[in-house]
Amino acid sequence: MRQIVGISADIHSGHKLGLLNPDTTLWQEGPDGEEVPYKPNPTETQKITWVEYSTNMGLIREMAAGDDLIVLHAGDVTWGNRHPEGSITTRMADQVLMAYDCLLPWLQYQNTQHMRLVSGTGAHDFGESSADLLVAKMLKNQTEKDVRVVGHSLLEIGGVTFDVAHHGPPPGSRSWLHGNVARYYLRDVMERAIHQGQDPPQLVIRGHYHCYVHETLTIRGYKDWTSHLIVLPSYCGFTNFARQATKSVSCIEFGSVAVEICDGKLEIVPLVKSFDMRRKESL
């Protein structure tokens, strides 16, 4: 049996740099009190992220080629209202509608039967996973497919165990340290499971840091265990806070990850593209 898992994170719909489906329609009150529909104008960053997102979604559907597709979103479907600067709107209803329109195309593929939305950061989900729960309810009502919100999920898909949560290790503060913290984090996850008499998850998925990291680790004992850790990139541009937090890294990554599972074996296919954010000038 063959299954494909499409994984994304941190679309942050509602921010002017977050993901926006150009077909999204919102409503505002007109001069006579009636509801007037309007489409938010996408920023240049949103035009780029939508092309990357929809292209990767198409590639993952093609990879499925009629086999079952399972979709995971590892946290932060909306921007929230804790940090209103840069928001298209701070109205919760608008942000939820934007996220819904970004995720619905996954479920319109007939072979997609399951979607899991992982709870993200309270500052971005209006608290207590509110945005995730509303988006999941809307998607389930529209498609009648299996859509649920999870805080920290241990999924078994085709004989492969996925440990999925939003918060995890940072990518590393220097290029030569890239992945070091992730490897220590992965080893800790694996050893905790082994000490509890369990097999470690074969695939650990995290988001939050808006960059792509893939680390693989084998622990040898009375049997050998091999696990992978993936920290996912986002579909959100670089905010001023992100530039400060990363000490002005020059590139940003957008993308998804596809996982092919066939007869209990997995293959990880990154669909990640890097963009140089520096302004180039010759004076």
Q: Per-residue pLDDT for 222 more than 90?
A: no
CATH of 2-276, one of 1.25.50.20, 3.40.50.620, 3.40.640.10, 3.60.21.10: 3.60.21.10
**DSSP-assigned letter for residue 19:** -
- Domain extents in the chain: 2-276
Q: Per-residue pLDDT for 191 more than 90?
A: yes
Q: What pLDDT digit, counting tens, does each position of 6-36 carry?
A: 999 999 999 999 999 999 999 988 888 888 9
Per DSSP bridges, beta strands 224-231 and 203-206 are parallel
6: its two tokens: 């499409």
Please tell me the pTM assigned to this model.
0.93
Q: Which pLDDT does position 74 carry in this prediction? A: 97
Strands (E), 126-165: 146-150, 153-157, 160-164
Residue 27's alpha-carbon distances to 19, 76, 235, 252, in angstroms, are 19, 23, 24, 32
Read off the pLDDT band of 279 (50, 70, 90).
Answer: confident
Q: Which pLDDT does position 267 carry in this prediction? A: 96
In this structure, the number of other CB atoms found within 10 A of the CB of residue 151 comes to 13
Read off the pLDDT band of 242 (50, 70, 90).
Answer: confident
